[in-house]
Structure formats: structure tokens, C-alpha cells
Structure 1
Amino acid sequence: MKKIEAFIRPEKLGDIKEILNQLNINGLSISQIMGAGNQKGWKEFVRGAEVEYNFLPKLKLEIVVLDNQVETVIDKICEKAYTGDVGDGKIFVSDIIDAVRIRTRERGDTAVL
């Protein structure tokens, strides 16, 4: 099992949720976050003073998938999140040692499906 963490633009969430549903990926956690990378933020004038906002709103998606689903999910997220501009986001993949469905105590792959 792998955990996919995708940091995306908020306006891309609907497209990504749709494609995950088509792939029968059921477990998805979403967090609203603020982040800084190459995009750097923006400047505004507040009461005549320039204020620099170094962090931009992003969404963090967390998805646990079977090993054979990883590349497909990554490809589809990249396809749907792409704008070609700085700030499209990043995807991180890490190993999951085990999973437990609390209700049934199923473990491993069956707990994720």
C-alpha cells in the first residue's frame, strides 16, 4: 500500500474527485492548507501600506491506494491538476506498513478497499 499526498490548487478539486470516483478510489481526505513554493505569494496594499503574503491557499489530498494503483492515480491527478503555471502543486508517495478498518478489524489491503 502507498499513501499519496497531493498538494493542489483549490479550483482543481472537483475534477480530481471526479476522476478518483471513476477509478473507484473511495478513501480521500482533504485539508485546507497554506503553502509557499516557487509561486511566492502576492502583495497587496492595506491602508496604504504594502503587505506581502508569502503563503497561498492550497488543498492537501491524502489517498491510500494499493501498489498497483499508484501510477494510474498519480497520472490522473497530474492530468487534472495541470495548468502549466507555477503553483500547480506537488505529489508525494510514501509506504504504508499496515491499515486497520476499525469497524471490522480487517487489516492490510482489504481494509483499504
Structure 2
Amino acid sequence: MIHHIAISTQNPETLKNFYISIPGLSFEKDHFYRDGGLRSSWFLAGTIRIMIEKEEISKAPHALIFSATKKEERDLIDSLFGNSFIEKTDFTKYLKDPDGNRLGFSSYPDPWN
């Protein structure tokens, strides 16, 4: 079982603002340094946490792929990110977040249509 996926960034506020717009993710909470700076933001994707964490050197995963099995979800994703897709297959559309990390939305086992 996956407990969480950590995505490192030098700019946690920028990534937080991006990930908060992804359908199906719900913002859970922020964590701060003692000086008040944002250390991490946590989101829930079902029961799996996605943690945006401040790091000086990014060590993000190769790709983070979200499920988009319902037509309504795919339509919303197309309306939010349609101009940002950099690659498409029959089942998955890919884009990059503000830090250049590769994201995707997969409709598998059904084609995206």
C-alpha cells in the first residue's frame, strides 16, 4: 500500500496553488517552519497523501499519474489544462507542473474520448 507520495520543490507555495486546482485532490493541511515559512502542503487523493515538500534540490518522481475514469472528470481536466498538455496517448494526457514535474491523467481502461 502507498502511504504518501512526496514531491520536492524549492517553491512550495507555487506548487500548492497548482495542485489545489487538480480535480479529485483535496487539500488537507499545511505545515510551517518555526519562522512561519511554508514547509509542506498535504493533499488527499482518496486514501493516498500527496505531500508537497520544500527542498533545496528537487527530487520529484518521474511522473505522477492521476485517474480520470469518468467522462465528467475528463471534460473538467480538458477545460482546466487543455492548453497545457505536452503529450497524449489513447488513455493518458501529460502536462508539467510549475516546477517541470511530469503529471498525467489516465482514463485506462477506456480511451480518453
Bigger relative CO (Cα 8 Å, ≥ 6 apart): 1
Higher helix share: 1
Higher Rg: 1
TM-score, with normalisation over the residues of structure 1?
A: 0.30
